[in-house]
Amino acid sequence: MVVVSDSPYGRADVAMATNFEAVYNALETLLGASLESARASLDDARVTAYLFQDKQQYERFATYADPRAAERSAGMYFSGFGILAFYLEAYSQPYVRHVMLHECTHAFLDQRIRLTRRPVPDWLQEGLAEYVGLSNVTEGEIRIGVFTAKTRHDSFEGLLITRSEASEQLSRARHAVRHKLTLDRILSTDPMRVADKDDLSEYYATCWLFVSWLRDGRDGWATHQFPTLVREIGAGHSDRETLEMVYGISVKEMEPAVIQHIKDFKLVHGWTVSED
C-alpha cells in the first residue's frame, strides 16, 4: 500500500496502513482459505490511499473523480484502479476509522473476491463493508461481528463516551423495518440513485444487518454458507439465485427472519476505544 497525505499529523499514514492490514487479515480469516488462488493471482495488486486533512480538499478530488459521490461520502474506493480516498476532518476519531475500515473492505472485495468483470452487488459490498467497519476494534485487532453500544475517544473537549456508529445504524435499520424494508428492495437498490440521505443511511444499515443475518443467523453459516456465498458471487454468479441455492430457502422466505433479526439484534454493552 502507498499512502499519500497532506495531513500535518505524522500518524495519519501509519493509522491508514494499520487499518488496511487489519481489514485484509480479518477478511481472509472470515472468508477462509478458499481465497488462496485469488490471492496468488493478485500478488502484484497495489492500493494507493489519498488521505486529505480537510473535507473541502476531499470533495474537490471526489468531484473530479466521481461527481455522483462527491457530497454523499466521507470516503470512496475506485473499483479496478486500487485507489482509496478519505478526509480526516470528521466529527470523531472513531467515525474516521469506521470510514477507513469500510472503504478498505471495498478494496478487498475488488482485489480478492471479484474474479470476473461483473461487480460484486451493492447490497453485499455495502453490507459487508459496514459489518467490518462497525465491528469493535481492540488493540489494533478487529473483533469481527462484535458491535458495541458506545465509543470512547479523546477529543479537544477531553475524553468522550458517545453513542457508537453501530447504535446509530441499528436505529436506522429498525426504522426501515417499521416502514418499508423488503429484501427485494435491498437486493435491487442502486445506492447512487438514492437521493434522500436518510433513505441512503437506512439502506446501508439494513444491508449491514442482512449480512449479519447471513453470517450469524444460524450455527455453521459463518464457516460454510457465508464464505460460499461470497465466493460464488465473486465468481460472477447471480446474487439472488446464489442466495437461494446456498441457504436452501427463497428470498421471500428469508424476509421475516431478517426482519426479526433486526428487531432482536443486541449490541455489546461497552465501548470501542479509539487508539488512532
- pLDDT value of residue 271: 55
CB 139, CB 260: distance < 8 Å: no
How far from 215 is each of 19, 41, 258, CA to CA, in Å?
22, 27, 12
- Its pTM stands at 0.91
Task: Give the pLDDT confidence score for residue 200 in this predicted structure.
Answer: 93
Cell of 198: 436518510
pLDDT at position 42: 46
Of the candidates 155, 137, 154, the one whose C-alpha atom is nearest the C-alpha of residue 146 is 137
The gap from C-alpha 104 to its chain's centroid, in whole angstroms, comes to 8
Q: How far separated are the first and last CA of the chain, in Å rounded?
A: 19
What's the pLDDT at 275?
A: 40
Domains defined along the chain, listed by start: 2-270 (1.10.390.10)
Task: Copy the grid coordinates of residue 11.
Answer: 500518524
Kindly report the three-state secondary structure assignment for every residue of the chain: CEEEECCCCCHHHHHHHHHHHHHHHHHHHHHCHHHHHHHHHCCCCCCEEEEECCHHHHHHHHHHHCHHHCCCCCEEEECCCCEEEEECCCCCHHHHHHHHHHHHHHHHHHHHHCCCCCCCCHHHHHHHHHHHHCCEEECCEEECCCCEEEEEEEECCEEEEEECHHHHHHHHHHHHHHHCCCHHHHHHCCHHHCCCHHHHHHHHHHHHHHHHHHHHCCCCHHHHHHHHHHHHHHCCCCHHHHHHHHHCCCHHHHHHHHHHHHHHCCCEEEEEECCC
d(CA 181, CA 203): 9
pLDDT in tens, the chain (276 residues): 888 888 776 677 888 888 899 999 999 989 974 444 444 444 446 899 999 988 889 988 888 888 877 678 889 999 888 999 989 887 677 888 899 999 999 999 999 999 999 999 999 999 999 999 999 887 778 999 999 998 876 655 666 778 899 999 999 999 999 887 789 999 999 998 998 999 999 999 999 999 999 999 999 999 999 999 999 999 999 999 999 999 999 999 999 999 999 999 999 876 554 443
Phi then psi dihedrals of residue 109, to 5 deg: -60, -40
